[in-house]
Amino acid sequence: MNRTTTWLVAAAAIAAIAVLIYFFMLRPSGEPEAELAPPPPPAETAPAIENPIPPAPVTETPEPLPALDQSDELVAQSLGEVVGEAPVESFLVPGDVIRKAVATVDNLDAKKLFPRIRAVQPAEGEFIVEREDDTIRLSEENYRRYDKLVAALGATSADQLASVYYRYYPLFQQAYVELGYPSGYFNDRLVEVIDHLLATPDITEPIELQQPSVYYTFADPDMEARSSGQKLLLRMGPENRAAVKQKLREFRALIAARSPES
Half-sphere exposure of 252 (CA within 13 A, CB side): 21
Closest CA to 20 of 123, 97, 115, 114: 97
For the cut 50, the answer to whether the pLDDT of residue 6 exceeds it is no
pLDDT, tens digit, for every residue of 141-195?
Answer: 999 988 887 887 787 778 777 777 787 789 999 999 999 999 999 999 999 999 9
- What pLDDT is stored for residue 87 in this prediction? 58
What pLDDT score was predicted for residue 253? 94
Between 112 and 239, whose confidence is greater? 239
Instruction: For residue 31, give Cα distances in angstroms to 38, 103, 212, 224.
Output: 21, 19, 12, 12
For the chain, percent of residues with pLDDT exceeding 90:
38
Higher per-residue pLDDT: 80 or 163: 163
Whether the pLDDT of residue 124 is over 80: the answer is no
pLDDT of residue 24 exceeding 80: no
Give the start-to-end residue ranges of the domains of the chain: 3-255
Sequence-distant (≥ 6) Cβ neighbours of residue 20 within 8 angstroms: 101, 102, 104, 105, 190
